[in-house]
């Protein structure tokens, strides 16, 4: 399969020797997105909700650059500086993933740039999503 590097100005440029995302076939693998405003280059500190919004907006820009949407996310990994902020992060996260909740893991970690949160995702374009609810409807 062909590998394609994904880049968008809608998300901050990589701060090291890596890509914002790499697309292989129908899958796009994003690098972890810090809460960095792509316009100003400033990192959001001290407000986990605003930081989570910025991380997900960065992921959204990458998904769109790959021809996808957040609905195509199949797996997310969330890194939190302080697991005590989980419920606040989760409230924002849930507002972005309303009709399709991807698989997810959340871990406490020391994050680059002393950020409060970092989120990475695996995105699958044209993946058939079947929930338990649709399975039940299809069996009737």
- Give the integer Cα–Cα distance in Å for 20 and 105: 20
pLDDT, position 74: 98
Residues 6+ apart with CB under 8 A from 101: 94
Q: How many domains does the chain have?
A: 1
Angle between helices 48-65 and 86-96 (to 10 degrees): 30
State pLDDT tens for residues 13-26.
988 899 999 999 99
What's 135's domain CATH number? 3.30.1330.40
Which residue bears the tokens 């701060």?
A: 15
Catalytic residues: 106
State pLDDT tens for residues 47-56.
999 999 999 9
Distance of CA 26 to the CA centre of its chain: 17
Average pLDDT over residues 48-77: 98
pLDDT, position 127: 62
Strand ranges of the sheet holding 3-6, from the earlier edge strand across to the other edge: 3-6, 21-24, 27-30, 117-124, 73-80, 103-108
Q: What is the pTM of this model?
A: 0.89
Residue-number span of the structural domain to which 46 is assigned: 3-139
State pLDDT tens for residues 92-135.
999 999 988 999 999 999 999 999 999 999 999 986 656 555 55
């Amino acid at each position: 399969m062909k590998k394609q590097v994904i880049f968008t100005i809608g998300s901050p440029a990589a701060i090291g020797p890596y890509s914002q995302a790499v697309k292989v076939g129908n899958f796009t693998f994003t690098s972890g997105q810090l809460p960095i405003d792509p316009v100003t280059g400033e990192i959001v500190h001290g407000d986990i909700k605003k930081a989570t919004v910025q991380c997900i907006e960065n992921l959204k820009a990458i998904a769109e650059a790959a021809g996808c949407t957040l609905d195509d996310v199949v797996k997310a990994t969330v890194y939190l500086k302080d697991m005590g902020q989980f419920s606040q992060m989760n409230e924002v996260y849930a507002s972005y993933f309303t009709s399709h909740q991807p698989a997810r893991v959340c871990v406490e970690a020391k994050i680059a740039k002393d950020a409060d949160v970092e989120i990475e995702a695996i995105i699958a374009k044209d993946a058939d999503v079947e929930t338990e609810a649709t399975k039940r409807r299809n069996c009737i």
